[in-house]
Structure 1
Amino acid sequence: MGRLVRLIRSASLLSLLLLVGCPYMNPPVVKQRTVSSAGGSTRVIAVMPFATRPGLVAVGSDAGMTADEVAELLANFMAEALAANGARVISPSDLATAFLSEQRPVARRDPPAAAELAASRFGATSVVMGEVLRWRERKGEAYGTNRPASVAYEMTLYQAPVPRRLWSARFDHTQRTLLADPLTARKYPGGGTRFLTAAELARWALGQSAASLMEGQWRAAQ
């Protein structure tokens, strides 16, 4: 009888953890960390054109996208997501134009140069810099595929004009099915009922990143 009671209690606890989404059993898909905060850091956020991992190939892209085009797409997704979260955003294209107008290379991997120009030319209080690490399109259709979409990126938020690191994020994920991982799959657009394109997976993850960035800076400043 005692063993039966223990089993029932264990099953009840497991069910409760599944319902509330215990972070140990259901870790976040996008790993994010607020390092520090600065007053007004999210007042004007510049999003630099993203870099790409050396040798990155956009695998299986039906649209024939190059690695640079993928990086441009993700940077624009992040800018849109930040704007949707209430930030005033300086777009990647505006920053690229500003660098080129000064006959300087676009500072995709140079936080001091990016932060200084974003602050001096646009009044930015912080700058987002990112790198695309993997881009693999799904093979198949929304309701049937033998190779789900897979995307990986890293991002960092720096204060401007002095590039102190404020926040970072990493996403490294291949879409999972409801059968294999229901706790993760239910978080996707559509609740895991369909296979996402790489762009859909990236846009969803970047939306999570933008919300975390804004909330993390707000909480750290309190």
Structure 2
Amino acid sequence: MKRRIKWKISMLKNIPLLLGMVLILLSGSPINGRSETDHTSSENADLSTLQFNRIAVMPFLAGKLESPEEPVEKPLSQPLKQLKIDAASLAEGADQIMTRLVNDVLQIRFADKMVSKQEAAAVYAEVIRDQALDTPRKLAKKFGENLHADLVVVGTIWRFREKGTFNEMPESPASVAFYVYLMEVAGGKRLWRNAFDGTQKTLSEDVLGGLKQIKMGLRWLSANELARYGVKSVFKKFPLH
């Protein structure tokens, strides 16, 4: 007990020296993955016996339909024009980066059932889109049918911001936020969804919390690194194996 008290006192004395250090802390964390259909928000779909031959990742949509703080009952039924884009917080090419990261994670798990990135990109490019009439659900259904896929992963990315993006805030940290959904192509049902909303913090913003999480690292992350961490965290809850 005395040794523990001495250690705490020693750490408190050194806090001023640690304030300038950077710690990987996330202001947001992945929400619990939920398996549900759009037809009922109170019942979860049991995917333990789900059989499928092909699964594809549709290129990510840029913009926000919902967030963990502002959930929408049927996000995939919203018109594409409802996607809200904050250009200052969404780096160019973020949708392509997210598509690649999700593909990489699922390729490891479903190698023989995954539609290749090249085939998916080629088919998606040929799908005709109407921003006013089409929804993510309709788009994913056409995309999946053209690929003869049973399941499609749909994603939206609305924040992909590098450290120091804002001129007036040169020390602003990297921040990433996205949603992913699993949709059944045949019926157009949403089977599962999960989100990640993370922003790196400095140790000076949360000293005591930082000391507890010091094992997570002591350097600034790029938005790409934060996104990779987010994708891995989100897909730990993926209901298919």
TM-score (norm 2): 0.60
| Distance apart, 1:48 and its partner CA | 0.7
Pair 1:47–1:58, CA change in 2 (3 A): farther
Determine the structure 2 residue equivalent to 1:23.
Answer: none
Cα root mean square deviation, aligned: 3.3
Determine the structure 2 residue equivalent to 1:29.
Answer: 29
| Distance apart, 1:57 and its partner CA | 1.6
Where in structure 1 do 4 or more consecutive aligned residues deviate above 4 Å? 106-109, 183-186
Provide the C-alpha distance between the structure 2 equivalents of 1:184 and 1:159, rounded to a whole number of angstroms: 41
Determine the structure 1 residue equivalent to 2:138.
Answer: 112
Q: 60, 71, 92: which is aligned to 2:95?
A: 71
Preserved contact between residue 96 and residue 106 of structure 1 (Cα < 8 Å): no
| Distance apart, 1:148 and its partner CA | 1.3
| Distance apart, 1:184 and its partner CA | 8.5
Preserved contact between residue 27 and residue 198 of structure 2 (Cα < 8 Å): no
Q: 168, 172, 175: which is aligned to 2:193?
A: 168
Pair 1:122–1:128, CA change in 2 (3 A): same
Provide the C-alpha distance between the structure 2 equivalents of 1:182 and 1:195, rounded to a whole number of angstroms: 14
Q: 227, 233, 237: which is aligned to 1:202?
A: 227
Preserved contact between residue 139 and residue 147 of structure 1 (Cα < 8 Å): yes
Preserved contact between residue 51 and residue 109 of structure 1 (Cα < 8 Å): no
| Distance apart, 1:157 and its partner CA | 0.7
- Paired residues in the alignment total 176
Determine the structure 2 residue equivalent to 1:7.
Answer: none
Provide the C-alpha distance between the structure 1 equivalents of 2:185 and 2:110, rounded to a whole number of angstroms: 19
Provide the C-alpha distance between the structure 2 equivalents of 1:209 and 1:167, rounded to a whole number of angstroms: 11
Preserved contact between residue 175 and residue 185 of structure 1 (Cα < 8 Å): no
| Distance apart, 1:99 and its partner CA | 3.8
Q: Which moved more, 1:70-79 or 1:82-91?
A: 82-91
- Amino acid of the structure 1 residue aligned with 2:154: M
Preserved contact between residue 29 and residue 184 of structure 1 (Cα < 8 Å): no
| Distance apart, 1:183 and its partner CA | 8.2
Determine the structure 1 residue equivalent to 2:240.
Answer: 217
Q: How high is the sequence identity, in percent, across the aligned residues? A: 24
- Amino acid of the structure 2 residue aligned with 1:197: S
- Amino acid of the structure 2 residue aligned with 1:217: L
Q: 189, 203, 210: which is aligned to 1:182?
A: 210
| Distance apart, 1:93 and its partner CA | 4.8
Is 1:57 paired with 2:87?
Answer: yes
Provide the C-alpha distance between the structure 2 equivalents of 1:178 and 1:45, rounded to a whole number of angstroms: 41
Provide the C-alpha distance between the structure 2 equivalents of 1:91 and 1:178, rounded to a whole number of angstroms: 41
| Distance apart, 1:168 and its partner CA | 0.6
Counterpart secondary structure, 2:31 = strand
Pair 1:97–1:33, CA change in 2 (3 A): same
Provide the C-alpha distance between the structure 1 equivalents of 2:212 and 2:162, rounded to a whole number of angstroms: 19
Preserved contact between residue 160 and residue 175 of structure 2 (Cα < 8 Å): yes
> Relative contact order, CA 8 A, sep 6+: which one is greater?
2
Provide the C-alpha distance between the structure 2 equivalents of 1:96 and 1:111, rounded to a whole number of angstroms: 17
Pair 1:162–1:134, CA change in 2 (3 A): same
Gaps of 5+ in 1: 1-25
Counterpart secondary structure, 1:105 = coil
| Distance apart, 1:182 and its partner CA | 3.4
